[in-house]
Amino acid sequence: MARPNVLEVKRVASIGGGPIGAGWAAHFLARGYDVTGYLHAMGEESIYRRILDTAWVSLTALGLAPGASLARLTLTDDLDRAVADAEFVQESAPERLELKQKLYERLGTIVPSGVIIASSTSGLMMSDIQVLCPTPERTVIGHPFNPPYLLPLVEIVGGNKTSPDAVMWARDFYAHAGKAPLVMKKEIPGFVATRLQEALWREALHMVANGEATPEDIDVALMNGPAPRLTIQGQCMAFHVACGEGGMATNLDQFGPALKLPWTRLVAPELTKELRDRMVDGCNEMAQGRHFEDMAAERDRAIVGVLKAVRAARSGG
């Protein structure tokens, strides 16, 4: 089945009214696409547009593509209308397998033939999502990191019935649309980045549960330790460079035995009420009564600064 030319795609459908669906819409609008956003109900429009307005501040600071405009957005609660003219579909429906299976059963029929349907799911596998879809060969995972309008990563993988060319098309399209696509070697729950993030999260919960650190301690440690380095070097390259001329070989030969030390606990702790309350109270203390929209705006301004600085550093500017 012929697919749209990646370079000629003009209209994208973004399905879902939450932060991910609206965030994807903001990204594609900023790249100069026409976007149709599908909402479960039009009563969600005001929240959706607030997400867009927040995103647009940062996207404008980073630089909009020629012709980019919020006016190129159409919102509807009619799924057939939302995808009728789509040349690419980004699905960000709630993370419930049965719901997604039924949605893909319908999308497989109403989305124009040959058009790729990508899921933003953060943990479900496409092999499970596509079981009822009548055209599963064009369905892929296109998992972003939040907020999708700022963080470049998108993890791509197909399911058992996905055509390899659909994965490659998605990779090329996301790259053309300004993302940093990572095509996975195989399907695994949680993909790559989320699994790494969850390892950090489990360890953080253990330390809070055991009274070893507060939520603030953990965030201070990450923001002032690994985080700045990780913007330039990933974990593997950071350890390679840290060990001088010997590189990763020196790292593994010298520090390999430490891998057996009880420094990390990969099994998640029991989420007791006490642990829940410690996490909630600790985060509320750090928030100091600020509204989530204000904190999201502050986060986005800082990410924009980081992205600009990284661009400059990599270009030698």
Indicate the DSSP class of residue 7.
Answer: G
Kindly state whether residues 239 and 175 are assigned to the same domain. Answer: no
pLDDT at 296: 82
Do the Cβ atoms of 158 and 188 come closer than 8 Å?
Answer: no
Distance CA 291, CA 279 (A): 18
Out of 144, 161, 183, pick the residue that ends a domain: 183
User: What backbone torsions phi and psi does residue 48 show, to the nearest 5 degrees?
Assistant: -55, -45
Kindly state whether residues 222 and 178 are assigned to the same domain. Answer: no
Do the Cβ atoms of 108 and 134 come closer than 8 Å?
Answer: yes
Kindly state whether residues 101 and 231 are assigned to the same domain. Answer: no
Out of 183, 218, 239, pick the residue that ends a domain: 183
Q: How many C-beta atoms lie closer than 10 Å to residue 258's C-beta?
A: 8
Distance CA 12, CA 89 (A): 6
Q: Domain total for the chain?
A: 2
Q: What element of type H or E holds 88?
A: strand 88-91
Kindly state whether residues 19 and 112 are assigned to the same domain. Answer: yes
pLDDT in tens, the chain (317 residues): 689 999 999 999 999 999 999 999 999 999 999 999 999 999 999 999 999 999 999 999 999 999 999 999 999 999 999 999 999 999 999 999 999 999 999 999 999 999 999 999 998 999 999 999 999 999 999 999 999 999 999 999 999 999 999 999 999 999 999 999 999 999 999 999 999 999 999 999 999 999 999 999 999 999 999 988 888 778 888 888 877 788 888 878 887 777 776 667 778 888 889 988 988 898 888 888 888 788 888 888 888 888 888 888 877 76
- Assess if residue 1 is contained within a domain: no
pLDDT at 151: 94
Kindly state whether residues 170 and 77 are assigned to the same domain. Answer: yes
pLDDT at 134: 98
Distance CA 267, CA 249 (A): 28
Kindly state whether residues 35 and 115 are assigned to the same domain. Answer: yes
- Assess if residue 171 is contained within a domain: yes
The set of residues, in sequence order, having a beta carbon less than 8 Å from that of 142 and lying 6+ positions away, is 90, 118, 119, 120, 154, 155, 156, 170, 174
Out of 183, 207, 226, pick the residue that ends a domain: 183
Q: How many C-beta atoms lie closer than 10 Å to residue 270's C-beta?
A: 9
11 three-state secondary structure:
strand
Kindly state whether residues 168 and 238 are assigned to the same domain. Answer: no
Kindly state whether residues 18 and 158 are assigned to the same domain. Answer: yes
pTM score: 0.88
The residue segments making up the domain with residue 146 are 6-183
Nearest to 192 by CA among 117, 241, 141: 141
- Assess if residue 64 is contained within a domain: yes
Here the CATH number for the domain that contains residue 114 is 3.40.50.720
Here the CATH number for the domain that contains residue 199 is 1.10.1040.10
Distance CA 304, CA 177 (A): 18
Kindly state whether residues 125 and 70 are assigned to the same domain. Answer: yes
Kindly state whether residues 132 and 241 are assigned to the same domain. Answer: no
Nearest to 74 by CA among 11, 118, 146: 11
pLDDT at 265: 73
